[in-house]
């Protein structure tokens, strides 16, 4: 048996912060507002892992108002979700994610994001796909006010 989970996240743009996507610092920004490092991509993947394992969502495990998570590295959230999934008998088969943003252009960073996510998840980079899309000037993302991400994660029974 396999399980699939989907996750999504949305953060407002904050020009005063550094942009972190998929665990990669992107200097050309803009940054994102959030209690943690606001990595919208890792948040969506974390939610997808938790959902596939039927373990709730990121807010249940890492409440945004909890001072322990102020400025936290979102890679730690993903590692914790993966550990919980593993304890429940699951491991990642693959991750497929999409970031929606008008700026910056993400194509040069996608290989780095895939490698970083694979490293965090302790899987082969060939098991990770990250795509970037724009919103064609529509909605908050299209107006450059926010960034969004969606993710699908396939879990399979853990090998002993």
User: Where along the chain do its domains lie?
Assistant: 3-157
Q: How many CB atoms lie within 10 A of CB 132?
A: 19
Q: Look at residue 140 in the predicted model and tell me its pLDDT.
A: 96
Q: Look at the pTM and tell me if it is higher than 0.95.
A: yes
Q: Look at residue 49 in the predicted model and tell me its pLDDT.
A: 98
Alpha-carbon span 104 to 144, nearest angstrom: 10
Superfamily in which the 3-157 domain is placed by CATH: 2-C-methyl-D-erythritol 2,4-cyclodiphosphate synthase (3.30.1330.50)
Alpha-carbon span 60 to 109, nearest angstrom: 30
Q: Look at residue 67 in the predicted model and tell me its pLDDT.
A: 87
Q: Look at residue 64 in the predicted model and tell me its pLDDT.
A: 84
pLDDT, tens digit (0-9, with 9 covering 90-100), for 111-126: 999 999 999 999 999 9
5 and 25 Cβ atoms separated by less than 8 Å:
no
Q: Look at residue 101 in the predicted model and tell me its pLDDT.
A: 97
Q: Which residues of the chain have pLDDT under 70?
A: none
Q: Look at residue 65 in the predicted model and tell me its pLDDT.
A: 85
Q: Look at residue 157 in the predicted model and tell me its pLDDT.
A: 97
Q: Look at residue 108 in the predicted model and tell me its pLDDT.
A: 96
146-157 β-sheet, strand order: 31-32, 3-14, 146-157, 90-100, 128-133
């Amino acid at each position: 048996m396999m399980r699939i989970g989907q996750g999504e996240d949305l953060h407002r743009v904050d020009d005063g912060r550094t942009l972190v996507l998929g665990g990669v610092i992107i200097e050309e920004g803009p940054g994102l507002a959030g209690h943690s490092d606001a990595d919208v991509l890792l948040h969506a993947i974390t939610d997808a892992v938790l959902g596939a394992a039927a373990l709730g969502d990121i807010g249940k495990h890492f409440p945004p108002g909890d001072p322990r998570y102020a400025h936290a590295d979102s890679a730690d959230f993903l590692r914790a979700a993966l550990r919980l999934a593993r304890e429940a008998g699951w491991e990642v088969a693959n991750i497929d994610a999409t970031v929606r943003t008008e700026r910056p252009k993400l194509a040069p960073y996608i290989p780095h994001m895939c490698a970083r996510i694979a490293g965090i998840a302790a899987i082969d980079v060939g098991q990770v796909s990250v795509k970037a899309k724009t919103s064609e000037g529509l909605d908050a993302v299209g107006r450059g006010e926010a960034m969004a991400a969606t993710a699908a994660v396939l879990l399979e029974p853990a090998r002993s």
